[in-house]
């Protein structure tokens, strides 16, 4: 009886590990698209969608390096001293080669929100050789 119960527990653990060990398959699929002295930028390939004909929406994540954090502290003050990353919903007009942010949330190194905005920014032309151009090249294929 104890042997059967032990075998059942082992089987359940193996099944649990198989299911939850691959949980990342159902989550974000972050792909590096831009490396800079201030940050590393990723886009979530699974989040790409087309709300209208020429528009693409995609979630991006910016992981800040020390130099990037110092820049934010200089612009925004001490609240950015522990800045870790920003998660941004970007919208790109692939025909007009323009980009805007729909939502931006910045987090500290403990995962707490530093600031957040859900107001769409103005459309801006994508600057050559920029973070925006690299994202454009990845998602507007």
Q: What is the pLDDT of residues 96-137, one digit of tens each?
A: 999 999 999 999 999 999 999 999 999 999 999 999 999 999
What would the pLDDT profile of 47-56 be if each residue is shown by its tens digit?
999 999 999 9
Taking the C-alpha atoms of residue 97 and residue 12, their distance in angstroms, rounded to an integer, is 52
Taking the C-alpha atoms of residue 53 and residue 59, their distance in angstroms, rounded to an integer, is 18
In this prediction, residue 6 has a pLDDT band, given cuts at 50, 70 and 90, of very low
- Residue 131, judged by CB atoms within 10 A of its CB (0-12, 13-18, 19+), counts as buried
Taking the C-alpha atoms of residue 45 and residue 58, their distance in angstroms, rounded to an integer, is 8
Judged against a pLDDT cut of 70, whether residue 75 lies above it is answered with: yes
Bigger pLDDT: 40 vs 14: 40
The top-level CATH class assigned to 28-139 is: mainly beta
pTM of the model: 0.78
């Amino acid at each position: 009886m104890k042997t059967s119960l032990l075998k059942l527990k082992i089987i359940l653990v193996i099944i649990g590990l198989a299911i939850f060990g691959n949980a990342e398959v159902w989550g974000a699929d972050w792909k590096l698209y831009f490396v800079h002295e201030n940050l590393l930028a990723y886009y979530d390939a699974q989040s790409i969608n087309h709300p209208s004909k020429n528009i693409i929406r995609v979630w991006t994540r910016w992981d800040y390096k020390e130099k990037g954090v110092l820049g934010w502290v200089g612009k925004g003050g001490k609240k950015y001293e522990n800045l870790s990353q920003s998660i941004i919903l970007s919208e790109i007009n692939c025909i007009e080669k323009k980009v805007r942010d729909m939502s931006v949330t910045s987090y500290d190194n403990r995962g707490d929100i530093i600031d957040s905005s859900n107001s769409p920014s103005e459309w801006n032309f994508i600057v050559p050789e920029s973070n925006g151009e690299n994202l454009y090249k990845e998602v507007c294929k």
